[in-house]
Structure 1
Amino acid sequence: MVAMGPMLRTDALPSARIRDGVAIVAAPPRPGPRRFLFLQGPISPFFTEVARALAARGHATHRINLSFGDRLFWGGVEGQPPAVHYQGRPEDWPAFIAGYLDRHGITDILLLGEQRGYHRAAISAAATRDIAVVVTDFGYFRPDWITLERDGMGGDSRFPRDPDRIRALARCLPPADLTEKLRDDFGRQAVWDVIYHLACLAPWPFPHYRSHQLHHPIATYWGVARRLLRRRAERAEGDRALAAIGDRPFWLFAMQTETDFSVRAYSPYPDLDTPIAETLRSFATHAPAEGQLLIKVHPLDPCLKPWEKRIRQLAADAGLAGRVHVARNGSLDDMVRGMRGLITINSTVGLKAVVCGKPVKALGSAVWNLPGLAHQGPLDSFWTEAATPDPAFRADFLAALQATTQLRGVFYAPQGRAVAVAAVTEALHEDRVGALLPPLRDPAADHGAGSPPG
């Protein structure tokens, strides 16, 4: 038994249920066995294991490898067509994938990273053919949940943005379960990541493959390796930053990585320098005079940009010398507990701040950037006017988000991966991914069943 998600209050809505954390409503699934196409996924055996489980339930599975790294991490499925290697040029991919979908009668596409160029073309082709697109990635809840959504995540998520719809959905659900039950394996993740991205450099048999990464993998791994060697020193630097702040009020800016599509696709910023500079200018003009700003570098940022030097220069330009502190490491829990509020583009640290009852300001698009959870006014007013999340709506939001988009499990550690594979397979087999429980209808809407926003 692997069902570890919340259970549905059947007295509230008898026609609906929860399956492995995914809220579903009784509706006839698409008839007969389906044909699943797997594109790029987690850098682990996860997609292979899901494909094998789906094949065991009578579905057909297909795979297109775009790079040698994809080939290494696809183990094949007995009795199913062998993987196809796409060796053409990126500009020819849209026509190729459209033809492939038609020739094989694909009904569902699974992928990780809906904003990758190859995937955007596949999603576009699927949209004109009524093909379901299922997207997965690390969970909104960390560390032992994964996300499974229709069409996309973050700014493309189908999750409701209307608080009344979320409240109506939550009435049928128990509280969110935020306890950690599974552990992942960062060492395994790191080794597989290196193998995959270095393999993608191989010119054969994918001579035209174009990675979605911004930086050369060797430069990235060199930067991350240097940080790992200095992790004790970085932790000490983080502790010193908190000590320097002392009892003075401080706000935390949680950086992401510039390669993160949450920044590249779901924010107005071309880089991280721009939002940092914008935040510093606002802080200098509108924050209390005794306030301090702590900027936390993402733990996996390779620091190919000298962030401390750049941030200190930006702070000096804004007249904030002595009031801005940079931490490349240190206890995020301690920082969140002690801060007055959080500023981020759309990091999941924002959701952590919401859970902890701290004011938060999103500079980009995020599922948690809602009235009652995050500051909706301009950044300039955040420093003095931001409110803490509304406890009742926070509970409703967390319950609804977890039940409709999250599955318990991990991508790397074998035990937790088996849990995730079983849950994802069940959700796909039953054709219930992303099916929201019926919300309150808009008075202007028709009288049909509720549907999630696009």
Structure 2
Amino acid sequence: MRADPARNVEPARQAVRPGARQVFLFLQGPVTPYFARVADALEARGHRCLRVNLCFGDWLFWRRAGGVNFRGTRETWPAFIADLIDREGVTDLMLLGEQRYYHKVAIAAAKARGLNVTVTDFGYLRPDWITLERDGMSGDSCFPKDPEAVMALAAKAPEPDLVPRYRDSFWLQAVWDMGYHLMSNWLWWLYPGYKSHQVHHPALVYMGTGLHILRAKRTGPRGDALVRRLREAGTTYYVLPLQMENDFQLRAYSPFFDLKTPIHAVIRSFSEHAPAESRLLVKIHPLDPGIRNWARIVRRSAVKWGVSDRVDFVDGGDLGAMLEGCRGVVTVNSTVGLWSMRANKPTMTLGAAIYDIQGLTYQGALETFWTKAEPPRRELWDAFIKAIVANIQIRGVYYKGEGLAAAVEATASRLDLTQGAWLEVRSRARTAPEAGDDLPGIEALQNA
């Protein structure tokens, strides 16, 4: 989806005098002690930190002074959060997931008062980077969309050190995540009015994800063998990486309300416009819980559009090798798009993405992508990486030891405006893709 450069919202900022104390209000964040430790670091710098606990899991990962338990309903939340902000003199809001209901309401209240809103999430770069942005990510990001603005930012930035420094722990992430969501579900009566943003019951998700990880140990080598055969035969192939259907990147920053629709759209376009001898590899997300049978959906879509002999469903395997040998990548707005451009492959997004910039991604219609898309401009790609590292990425991880400590210190330094440490980027037009842009018959595809 192409951006609308006419829309550019520039909220007023609340000035922080040198030496003035900031009051931080934390809402829901990553399921880790990261927020609590950032609060410790900020208070050591002379600031004050508060946290609203919306469920038991929030309380579990805070357990320090400054916690406020909200046990009301969604209907009472707007008045509660506005009163809390005013009463406590909040200057800064910190959260993960700006599209969650409670966060959207809080952000609106904060912006109406000219407060600073900072959003964090896993880094655009992997494996040991964390994103820290003003206002939001993807479609809400204020990072420049204009190539020249990106080049100008990069010109002021030092050369980034992209060599990995820290290792994170997937198993610690899994254990903490299960503890957070399952305990919140079981102890719902402690926060009776809370409604989670999660689409499915956590027990169902964890069981499905675990089974999928085990299954991928068997199916992964098959995917690697398929890619190896295609590359050895010199077969042209494209890649469609699937995202999690409950991902807000899909739900809030694209015209799709489910994952089935973009699957149908891409397979249909591939059948009508891609070179006759080419193939399409549809790769499932490695942590997909398997609640929907994506293999069957892909197979039926391929049959419907007459390309069942040219579309392959891939579960597991080496994504890097797959991208290295492909002709191009179509994605809604997955971070796989960054991997694709790093491999110098033509890339197209169907939703809003921070990297959807002219000169990096294909800006034409999906029907012409298959034959006309070009690789990203290397000098713009290098500039993009330099610009995001200098402005909206910090080094560290959410879960493990030394990397978590590094992330906490970097976050506190960035948030502490009394030191003038935050470099804001304000030139990106905020975008919201319009349903159906570049995609013929999207309503029919949604019902297919």
The TM-score, its normalising length taken from structure 1, stands at 0.88
Counterpart-to-counterpart distance in 1, 2:188 and 2:260: 34
Paired amino acid for 1:104? E
Counterpart-to-counterpart distance in 2, 1:433 and 1:154: 23
Greater shift in the superposed pair: 303-312 or 237-246: 237-246
Asked if 1:200 corresponds to 2:187, the answer is: no
1:17-416 map, 5 Å: 29-31=16-18, 32-77=20-65, 81=66, 83-201=67-185, 202-243=187-228, 245=230, 246-416=233-403
Q: How many Å apart are 1:402 and its aligned residue?
A: 1.4
SS of the equivalent of 2:31 reads coil
Contact 1:184 1:410 in 2 (8 A): yes
Task: Give per-residue Cα distances to partners, 1:295-319, cap 9 Å, x unaligned.
Answer: 1100111011111111000000010
Contact 1:45 1:75 in 2 (8 A): no
Identical-pair percentage: 47
CA root-mean-square deviation: 1.6
The alpha-carbon distance between structure 1 residues 308 and 452, as it changes in their structure 2 partners (threshold 3 A), is closer
The answer for unaligned runs of 5 or more in structure 1 is 1-27, 438-449
Task: Give per-residue Cα distances to partners, 1:86-143, cap 9 Å, x unaligned.
Answer: 0000121111100110111100011000000000000000011111111000000011
Q: How many Å apart are 1:394 and its aligned residue?
A: 1.2
More helix by share: 2
Contact 2:221 2:317 in 1 (8 A): yes
Counterpart-to-counterpart distance in 1, 2:56 and 2:115: 27
Paired amino acid for 1:395? D
Q: How many Å apart are 1:451 and its aligned residue?
A: 5.7
Q: Name the counterpart of 1:442.
A: none
SS of the equivalent of 1:122 reads helix
The answer for unaligned runs of 5 or more in structure 2 is 1-14, 431-448
Q: How many Å apart are 1:225 and its aligned residue?
A: 1.2
Q: How many Å apart are 1:178 and its aligned residue?
A: 2.5
SS of the equivalent of 1:253 reads strand
Paired amino acid for 1:142? R
Contact 1:36 1:107 in 2 (8 A): yes
Q: Name the counterpart of 1:418.
A: 405
Counterpart-to-counterpart distance in 1, 2:346 and 2:383: 17
SS of the equivalent of 2:317 reads coil
SS of the equivalent of 1:213 reads coil
SS of the equivalent of 2:57 reads helix
Paired amino acid for 1:193? D
Q: How many Å apart are 1:194 and its aligned residue?
A: 0.5
Q: How many Å apart are 1:29 and its aligned residue?
A: 4.5
Paired amino acid for 1:98? A
Q: How many Å apart are 1:236 and its aligned residue?
A: 2.1
Q: How many Å apart are 1:165 and its aligned residue?
A: 1.1
Q: How many Å apart are 1:353 and its aligned residue?
A: 1.1
Counterpart-to-counterpart distance in 2, 1:226 and 1:434: 43
Q: How many Å apart are 1:227 and its aligned residue?
A: 1.1
